[in-house]
Amino acid sequence: MMWRFVGKLLASAGLLAAVWGLGAVSDSPWHSWVQPVGAPHGPVRILRFYASTGSIAPGGKAQLCYGVENAKSVRISPAVDKVAPAANRCLEIVPDRTTHYTILAEGFDGHVVTRFVTLVVEPVPAPAQAPANLAGLRCVTLGNYGRAFSVISRSSFGKVSTTISL
């Protein structure tokens, strides 16, 4: 009976030490909310706030990543689901137009910090035009004149001449 009590006591002490130790690890995802009992909270900081890519096509997906330290609460505008204080977290976003995201983190002392990021939604380029019908083409002459090209084609439709300058 006594050995059970000692075993539970040691397990509890080990768990308490592990949780306290997580508060001292800066890269731990638990760092933002696990603090040793009685320890003063430092100032709120935004560690990171970025989009996984600078631009996407309409309907495309991207990751919006953030990390905060000593934050009591976190909000992202425009609204993004499942936002909570975390040292390193990414959320999937699918904007339909260029969007300016703002993160706002509030510290335990009431201090608020913000950062901004913009994700550009670029229109999809128009498909290339189909090549012209060259069935009646008989002869093409290409002349190089320094920074210009001359194209002369002879076909059943007559002589066509074009000059392209670079």
**Tens digits of residue pLDDT in 142-159:** 555 455 555 555 555 555
- Residue appearing with tokens 């991207």: 62
53 Cβ neighbours under 8 A, 6+ residues apart: 62, 119
Residues 5, 71: contact at Cβ < 8 Å?
no
In the chain, count H helices and then E strands.
1, 10
- What does 115-136 look like in DSSP terms, one character per residue? EEEEEEEPPPPPPPPPPPP-TT
Mean pLDDT comparison of 30-34, 81-85, 128-132, highest-scoring range? 81-85
What pLDDT, in 10s, does the model give residues 95-120?
999 999 999 999 999 999 999 999 99
Can you give the pTM of this predicted structure?
0.54
